Amino acid sequence: MPTLVGRQVGPTGYGLMGLTWRDPATPEEQAIEALRAALQTGMNLWNGGEFYGTPERNSLTLLERYFARYPGDAERVLLCVKGGLNTSTRGADGSPENTRRSIDACIALLKGRKKIDLFECARRDPDVPLRTTLEVIDKEWYTGKIGGISLSEVRAETIHEAVKITKICAVEVELSLFSTEILSNGVADACAQYDIPLVAYSPVGRGMLTGQIKCAADVKPHMARYPRFQGANLEVNLRLAAGVEALAARKGVTPAQLAIAWTRRLATWRRGAPGTIIPIPGATTAPRVRENGTLVEIADEEMRELDEMLGGLRLRRSNAGKSRRRIQIEPGRGKIEDV
């Protein structure tokens, strides 16, 4: 079992964004059922955000109501929360004042029902020295307000800089068959160098394996801005999705289960990979949560087959420098702008 901040967690975690940050909104009872299913399936690393939704309904408000109903579950869950956005500009703000505000606001929304085990700023603020931001969070850790510090959407150089300032307990980045940049841009290597667990969001490729996307017309408007859903990239990714679906069918598992297993298996398959990779797929229904949480073993020959699929495709990536983008949050959606 993987270990984070001295606690064991399941090999697959749970990303909470879709429970409160989507249109139409996930009904609260359905969201609570999904949370309950995640814990029952062993997915006890939960990853939410202060800005995942509106001030009235977001990850923290949902979790407060969940733990009010199931107080005994609080000790079973390891909770990671993203914050660090300015409430006025809705951009990354790593100033001491806003960093403290964000941590205090997240704690207040939980109303004492659950401690924040890991806190991370959603993006690095390019206008504030990293040391300034991390020293504030480190003090909050030292005083016991939070249980540890993680990083989100950072470049390799930020990891190298951060470990000289404080202990980094995890790094959260996107990793899937459709987004492998961190395997070649130094991020995975840096995590391996410092033995930092890597938390992989969107391990099923932002819907590429749902079977609902067969052409450009099937791409939802809010996803169309991602390069993987555009032009030639989409054509190539659809071919990859078809290959994954065929392998999954032969194996007797779902495409999502195979993709999640591939992400997790990279820890022992790829030379120099971090020793711990925890995928955190999101899902808004209990059946889909249970599907994602079902552990699937993936054999060496299957990993080689997937490697060949990836090697035979020439994807035009344009996500380089993602960690230096500013995330701006509007009610119900997020917008990323270059800085």
DSSP-derived 3-state class of residue 151: strand
Residues in CB range of 24: below 8 A, 6 or more apart: none
By DSSP bridging, strand 333-338 and strand 198-201 are unpaired
The count of residues in the chain is 339
C-alpha separations of 254 from 12, 34, 59, 60, 139 in Å: 16, 19, 28, 31, 44
Separation between Cα atoms, residue 125 and residue 327, nearest integer Å:
10
- Which residue in 241, 273, 274 sits closest to 259, CA to CA? 241
Classify residue 40 by burial, with Cβ atoms within 10 Å: 0-12, 13-18, 19+.
Answer: middle
3-state secondary structure of 51: coil
From 52, 66, 194, 226, the catalytic residue = 52
Instruction: Say which amino acid occupies 188.
Output: A
Helix (H) or strand (E) holding 316: none
CB 326 within 8 A of CB 84: no
Query: Helix H segments across the chain?
Result: 17-20, 28-40, 59-69, 96-110, 130-142, 156-162, 187-193, 231-251, 255-269, 286-293, 300-311
Q: Is 14 among the catalytic positions?
A: no
Around 137, how many Cα atoms within 13 Å sit in the side-chain half-sphere?
A: 31
For residue 27, with 0-12 CB atoms within 10 Å meaning exposed, 13-18 middle and 19 or more buried, which class applies? exposed
The residues that are catalytic are 52
